[in-house]
Amino acid sequence: MKKDFVSIKDLSKKEVKELFLLTEKLKQARPKHEKPLQNKTIALVFEKPSLRTRVTFETGIYELGGSPIYLSPQDIGLGKRESISDIARNLSLWVSGIVARVFAHQSVVELAEYASIPVINALSNLEHPCQALADLFTVYEKFKAFKGLKFAYIGDGNNVCRSLMLLAETCGLEMWVATPPGYEPDKKSQVTNHKSQVLNDPREAIKDADVIYTDVWASMGEETEKEKRLKIFKDFQVNKELLKYAKPECLIMHCLPAHRGEEITSEVLDSKNSIVLQQAENRLHTQKALLTILLSSP
């Protein structure tokens, strides 16, 4: 595997398979599995808030025998107090890996370029690859295959959507995306799988879907656009009305945090078809597999 995990594009189909196999093993064996991160320290460099990503990485590192150090925006001022290249070169002297949550994707690319140790993207404006790994592992757990499934994403063509599209392509999963015009994921992230489509009609996208996924309409860093987006996205809310066009057994996914009453209603988020907590749980297991693969060599 490559030194870093900055984008879903860093993983081949074979590597995703291996990662999912190791995830299953670690999940079953927990907590009695090997501790490949013993005597290793991992820096968590976060420019944005987090519940799931921070807690699952910190917990995962502890469970694998290592020690995390959390560095908040006030601590190091990525690219402000000090250049990204200097931070990467200094951290490489003391720790074994960097997990970075950043605004600009270029920041995590630069960290990876200048660090001699593995760098993991824990969310950037362009991608959220760790989220996509946990999500498609959750789909795999539920259905035991990707072939023959229809996965529908409704809402903003954002970082989560892009990573899901790239991973869907790697895994051979048919993914339909519905966004308002102008909010589609960029062409480079769109799957080439002939069955997948990007459109502007949520009803068409969810027809016969096995899974419906949504995420917030204004991501971290886009707060000033929130009011404008609430109006533009209003027909893309995942609610009972929209679900009339879906299969009754269709599963509901969301990376969380959810803005209840905006992109999804509480009724749907808390329904029996919702698997959002399985997704959140699997963040821990898939990231432990990722850390093991990237960091267990001496």
For residue 103, give the nearest of 75, 86, 134, 80 by alpha carbon. 80
**Dihedral in degrees, nearest 10, Cα atoms 79, 81, 85, 90:** -140
Q: Which one from 4, 135, 210, 215 is the annotated catalytic residue?
A: 215
Q: Is 255 a catalytic residue?
A: yes
Q: Which one from 52, 54, 101, 105 is the annotated catalytic residue?
A: 101
Backbone φ and ψ of 178, nearest 5°: -125, 120
Nearer to ligand NVA, 131 or 292 (CB): 131
Nearer to ligand CP, 244 or 260 (CB): 260
Regarding 286 and contact with ligand CP (CB under 6 A), the answer is no
Pick what 96 binds: ligand CP, ligand NVA, none; C-beta below 5 to 8 Å, kind-dependent. none
Residue 146 CB, shortest distance to ligand NVA, in Å, is 23
Q: Is 130 a catalytic residue?
A: no
Kindly list the residues in this chain that would bind ligand NVA in the complex (CB under 6 A). Answer: 123, 128, 158-160, 215-216, 219-220, 255
Q: Is 38 a catalytic residue?
A: no
Q: Look up residue 244 and give its amino acid.
A: K
Pick what 215 binds: ligand CP, ligand NVA, none; C-beta below 5 to 8 Å, kind-dependent. ligand NVA
Are residues 78 and 84 in contact, defined by beta-carbon separation less than 8 angstroms? yes
Task: Determine how many CB atoms are found less than 10 A away from the CB of residue 298.
Answer: 2
Q: Is 283 a catalytic residue?
A: yes
Are residues 63 and 92 in contact, defined by beta-carbon separation less than 8 angstroms? no
Contact residue for ligand CP among 27, 40, 52, 105 (CB under 6 A):
52
Beta strand 150-154 pairing with 211-214:
parallel
Residues assigned a catalytic role: 101, 128, 131, 215, 255, 283
